[in-house]
C-alpha cells in the first residue's frame, strides 16, 4: 500500500517536472535562451544566458597565403621524399590534379588514406629565408573551445609563430612561439603549458616540444586550449562551472580564447641538422595536411544558433538583441544599456535581456512573450493590460496602494508572497493524498 502511494506521488512529481520544463540537467551547456514556466501570474517566459554549440570552424574560414605564389607547382618542380630526403623525384604540378597541392587541401575531409596536403615551393632560393604566412579568417568573432591542431606532411618547422587577431586582421599579437631552439630563434627560454598556472595562464611562451624534424610521430603541432582550461576546470574538465565563472569575471581571460583571425607564420623549414644541405635544397619545404580549429560563434550569450549564409557567419540573436555578435539592443528595446549575458549564476546564467524603450510602449503594450501582463492582468488587443482592482501600471506591475502611499498590514493589499511555483503546485497536487507512513 505504502509503495503504491509512493509511486503515485512520484508520478505526480514527474508530471509537475515536465510541466515546469526544467533547465538542462548538465550544468554549463547554456543551450537554451528561454523557457516557459508557470508562476502565480500564469505561463511566462524565463530568459537565460545561451550560446551556440562548439563545432569545427574550418568549414567556415577563408585562407590566404603570403606570398600568394608560394604554393608549389607553377612552374612544376621536383622535391625530395620525406622518408628518403635523397630521393628527389617527386613532382608538384599545379596543372595536374593528382600532382597539385593547393591551399584548400589543408582543410579537406577525405580522410588520411591517401593523405592530401598543401605544399610550398622548395627552398631553391637559399640563403634567402623561406617564409610563409597562412592567414585563416572568419569575418566573425569566434571563441575557441579545443586545441588548435596543425598536422604537417613535411617535417615540423624549425621556427614558427602562431598569431591571433581580435580586429579582423588589422593588428596581430602572438599566441605561441615554436622553435627547435627558443633562445636562439626568439631570445626566450623554452617552456611548456605544464609550466604555467592559473596566475600565468595568459603568458605567451616559446615551446620546443613541437619543433623536431625528421623523427617518428613528429608531424603534429598543438596550441593547447584544453590544458589552459584545466587550470580552472580540473584535469578532466569536470568543473566547468569554475571555468565559466572565471570567463565571466575576467575579460582578459575571455579575450585570450577569442579571435577573428589566426595566422601561422612559417619562418624556417625543418632542417634536421645544424647546416643546410645546399646541394639538396629540394629537401626543404612546408607541407600541411590538416588544420583543426574548434570553437563557437561569439554571440555574447544571446543566441544558441549561428547561421552560415552567403559565406558569412551570423548569430541568430535572442533577448531582443541584434548585430552579427548580438552586440546591441534592437530598435525600440533600448530601455537600458546593452549588456552581454552572464554565465552566472550557474547553471542558467543571466540573460540581461534588452527591455522596451519608454517611447516604444504604447504601440505594443503587451504580447505573449516579453511584455506579459503581470499580477493576473490580461492583454487586450496588444494595446493595454486589463489589471485586477489592486494593481495598476502599464503592465499591472504596481500596487494601487503604493501610488497612494497607503500600503500596509491594514490595507489588505500586501504584496503577494513569493515562493517556488513547482513547490506550490506540488503541494496542491499532494493536498488530497494521504500522508506517507515509513
Residues 83 and 208 in one domain: yes
- What pLDDT sits at residue 42? 78
Tally of domains within the chain: 3
DSSP 265: E
- Residue 162 lies inside a defined structural domain of this protein: yes
Residues 305 and 287 placed together within one structural domain of the fold: no
**415 within a domain of the structure (yes/no):** no
**Is 73 within 8 Å of 92 (Cβ atoms)?**
yes
Residues 178 and 314 in one domain: no
Q: What are the residue ranges in the chain where pLDDT is below 50?
A: 1-28, 112, 216, 409, 411-438
Strand, coil or helix: 118 = strand
Q: Indicate which CATH number applies to the domain containing 145.
A: 2.60.120.260
Give residues with Cβ within 8 angstroms of 9, minimum separation 6.
Answer: 430, 433, 436
99 in any annotated domain: yes
Question: Is 43 in the same domain as 179?
Answer: no
Which of 271, 294, 317 lies at the terminal end of a domain, its last residue? Answer: 294
CB 221 within 8 A of CB 178: yes
| CATH at residue 40 | 2.10.25.10
Rounded to whole angstroms, what are the CA distances from 189 to 183, 184, 192, 251?
A: 6, 9, 10, 28
Q: What is the CATH number of the domain that holds 376?
A: 2.10.25
Would you give the distance in Å from CA 403 to the centre of its chain? 47
Compute and round to an integer the Cα radius of gyration of the chain.
30
Q: Taking Cα atoms as reference points, which of 137, 204, 138, 207 lies closest to residue 175?
A: 204
> Is the same domain home to 135 and 179?
yes
Instruction: Examine the domain organization and report whether 266 and 127 are in the same domain.
Output: yes
Q: What is the pLDDT of residue 37?
A: 87
Return the C-alpha cell found at 119.
605544399
Do 129 and 70 fall within a single domain? yes
- Can you give the pLDDT at residue 422? 37
Residue 61's CB: how many other CB atoms inside 10 A?
Answer: 20
Whole-number Å distance between alpha carbons of 156 and 264: 13
**13 vs 422: CA distance, rounded Å:** 9
C-alpha cell at 242: 569554475
Q: 75 with 126, same domain?
A: yes
Backbone angles phi, psi at 159, to 5 degrees: -140, 135
Does any domain span residue 425?
no
Predicted local confidence at residue 393, as pLDDT: 80
In a domain, 431, yes or no: no
Answer yes or no: is 433 within a domain: no
Domain termination residue (choose one: 339, 360, 381): 360
- By residue range, what is the domain housing residue 383? 362-401
Residues 95 and 164 both lie in one domain: yes
Q: What is the pLDDT of residue 411?
A: 45
Asked whether residue 312 falls in the same domain as residue 341, the answer is yes
Q: Please indicate, yes or no, whether residues 197 and 283 belong to a single structural domain of this protein.
A: yes
Asked if residue 272 belongs to a domain, the reply is yes
Question: Of 265, 294, 323, which marks where a domain is finished?
Answer: 294
Query: Are 329 and 372 found together in one domain?
Result: no
Q: In terms of C-beta density within 10 A (0-12 exposed, 13-18 middle, 19 or more buried), how is residue 425 classed?
A: middle
* 408 within some domain: no
Amino acid at each position: 500500500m505504502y509503495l503504491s502511494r509512493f509511486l503515485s506521488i512520484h508520478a505526480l512529481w514527474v508530471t509537475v517536472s515536465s510541466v515546469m520544463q526544467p533547465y538542462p540537467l548538465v550544468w554549463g551547456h547554456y543551450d537554451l535562451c528561454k523557457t516557459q514556466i508557470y508562476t502565480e501570474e500564469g505561463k511566462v517566459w524565463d530568459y537565460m544566458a545561451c550560446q551556440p554549440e562548439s563545432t569545427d570552424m574550418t568549414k567556415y574560414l577563408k585562407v590566404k597565403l603570403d606570398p600568394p605564389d608560394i604554393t608549389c607547382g607553377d612552374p612544376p618542380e621536383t622535391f625530395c621524399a620525406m622518408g628518403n630526403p635523397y630521393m628527389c623525384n617527386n613532382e608538384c604540378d599545379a596543372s595536374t590534379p593528382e600532382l597539385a597541392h593547393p591551399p584548400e587541401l589543408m582543410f579537406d575531409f577525405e580522410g588520411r588514406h591517401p593523405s592530401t596536403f598543401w605544399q610550398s615551393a622548395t627552398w631553391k632560393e637559399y640563403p634567402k629565408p623561406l617564409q610563409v604566412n597562412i592567414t585563416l579568417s572568419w569575418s566573425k568573432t569566434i571563441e575557441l573551445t579545443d586545441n588548435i591542431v596543425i598536422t604537417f606532411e613535411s617535417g615540423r618547422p624549425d621556427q614558427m609563430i602562431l598569431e591571433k587577431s581580435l580586429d579582423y586582421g588589422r593588428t596581430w599579437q602572438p599566441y605561441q612561439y615554436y622553435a627547435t631552439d627558443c633562445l636562439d630563434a626568439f631570445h626566450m627560454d623554452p617552456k611548456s603549458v605544464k609550466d604555467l598556472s592559473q596566475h600565468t595562464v595568459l603568458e605567451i611562451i616559446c615551446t620546443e616540444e613541437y619543433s623536431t624534424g625528421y623523427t617518428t610521430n613528429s608531424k603534429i603541432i598543438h596550441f593547447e586550449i584544453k590544458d589552459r582550461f584545466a587550470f580552472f576546470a580540473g584535469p578532466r574538465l569536470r568543473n566547468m562551472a569554475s571555468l565559466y565563472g572565471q570567463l565571466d569575471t575576467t575579460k582578459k581571460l575571455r579575450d585570450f580564447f577569442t579571435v577573428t583571425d589566426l595566422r601561422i607564420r612559417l619562418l624556417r623549414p625543418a632542417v634536421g641538422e645544424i647546416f643546410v644541405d645546399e646541394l639538396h635544397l629540394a629537401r626543404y619545404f612546408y607541407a600541411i595536411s590538416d588544420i583543426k580549429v574548434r570553437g563557437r560563434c561569439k554571440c555574447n550569450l544571446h543566441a544558441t544558433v549561428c547561421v552560415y549564409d552567403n559565406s558569412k557567419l551570423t548569430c541568430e540573436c535572442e533577448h531582443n538583441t541584434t548585430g552579427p555578435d548580438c552586440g546591441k539592443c534592437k530598435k525600440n528595446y533600448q530601455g537600458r544599456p546593452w549588456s552581454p549575458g552572464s554565465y552566472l549564476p550557474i547553471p542558467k546564467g543571466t540573460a540581461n535581456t534588452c527591455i522596451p524603450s519608454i517611447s516604444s510602449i504604447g504601440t505594443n503594450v503587451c504580447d505573449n512573450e516579453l511584455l506579459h501582463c503581470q499580477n493576473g492582468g490580461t492583454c487586450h488587443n496588444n494595446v493595454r493590460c486589463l489589471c485586477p482592482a489592486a494593481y495598476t501600471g502599464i503592465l499591472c506591475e504596481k500596487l494601487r496602494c503604493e501610488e497612494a502611499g497607503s500600503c500596509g498590514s491594514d490595507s489588505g493589499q500586501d504584496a503577494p508572497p513569493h515562493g517556488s511555483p513547482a513547490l506550490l503546485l506540488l503541494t496542491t497536487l499532494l493536498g488530497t493524498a494521504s500522508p506517507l507512513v515509513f
